Amino acid sequence: MSYASIFAPGLFAGKVVVVTGGGSGIGRCVAHELASLGARVALLGRKVDKLHKVADEIAQDCATSGGSASTHVCDIRHEDAVRSTVAAIVAQHGAIDGLVNNAGGQYMTPLESISAKGWEAVVNTNLTGGFLMARECYTQSMAKHGGAIVNIVADMWGSMPGMGHSGAARAGMVSLTETAAAEWAGAGVRVNAVAPGYIASSGMDHYPPEAGPMLRAMAKTVPLGRFGTEAETAAGIVFLLSPAAAFISGSTLRIDGARPQVRMGWPMTVASAKTQTRASIAPFDGFHRATTPQVFAAPAQASPESK
């Protein structure tokens, strides 16, 4: 099987796109789609085994598309590491045409329990690291050749109770996106953001087991009545990197099923299971290697011997 992208084959032929956090989740999915469209993807992350696994998948799946993947171990929170890693990518590939600032992470805790160290760890991962990656891709390549940057943020409209450190960092990234779009436009660089809402991704497997019931109930708060897919998120990212988005910069594309529009005092109508089969809102599952997060997997049936 191969990635079922809605975009034209060869759309990114010859283009080099850096994907941070490319070893899992949305980053892995968007790397697969870009490679299926002919891109040379530079996978970046902290765990070499995850990066190599995705690179091997891409090598198997993209033999005929011309796409490929290289791996680069880097902790984006460290300035020197980011600078040297981007330099290595430029040396290997010649230029950087696109950057998907996808790496991120957070943990659930109320504000009063967040230590300064915990706050800094989340902000450095979700904001500072993204800034460093964007700055280095710009100064080392895009300032001369142009390019497109897509920063991955989150549904932080209306706040993020339980993850205030992440909400603050993501809001900062939206502002950074708008500023970079203005400052770098003269060099032919577009900068946008994508804000995924509730997406069924492997990142959910990192939450504690006790969060399971809450996660499973979250779909009931989405007007479209379901979680989004990794492929639906990747499609938005790929569009913003593509020539079709040539006049879009400084914008944030929300992929959230209208979740932020839910208002207290206004009766919410949630799409039923039958309605969700309509072509206009049916889930798009273009990623042939997607896996269901464990929290949504059907419970294993007990064997007769265990009863």
Q: What is the CATH number of the domain that holds 121?
A: 3.40.50.720
This prediction's pTM: 0.90
Number of domains making up the chain: 1
Rounded to 5 degrees, what angle do the CA atoms 220, 260, 105 make?
90
**What are the b/e assignments for 30-51, b being 16+ CB within 10 Å?**
bbbbbbbbbbbbbbbbbeeebb
**What is the distance between the alpha carbons of residues 249 and 6, in angstroms, rounded to a whole number?**
22
State the residue for tokens 């946008």: 192
* Domain-located, residue 299: no
Give the model's pLDDT for residue 301: 39
* Domain-located, residue 260: no
**What is the distance between the alpha carbons of residues 207 and 241, in angstroms, rounded to a whole number?**
31
* Domain-located, residue 203: no
Q: Which residues of the chain have pLDDT under 50?
A: 300-307
How many Cβ atoms sit within 10 Å of the Cβ of residue 246?
10
Backbone dihedral angles phi then psi of residue 149, each to the nearest 5 degrees: -120, 135
* Domain-located, residue 282: no
* Domain-located, residue 147: yes
12 near 37, Cβ under 8 Å? yes
Length of the chain: 307
Q: Which amino acid is at 114?
A: I
- What is the 8-class DSSP label of residue 206? G
What are residue 73's DSSP bridge partners? Answer: 45
Class of residue 289 by CB neighbours under 10 A (exposed 0-12, middle 13-18, buried 19+): middle
* Domain-located, residue 243: yes
Give the model's pLDDT for residue 300: 40
Residue range 132-161, pLDDT digits in tens:
999 999 999 999 999 999 999 988 887 777
* Domain-located, residue 250: yes
Give the model's pLDDT for residue 230: 96
How many Cβ atoms sit within 10 Å of the Cβ of residue 199?
23
Three-state secondary structure string covering 20-86: ECCCCHHHHHHHHHHHHCCCEEEEEECCHHHHHHHHHHHHHHCCCCCCEEEEEECCCCCHHHHHHHH
Domain containing residue 90: 16-196+229-255
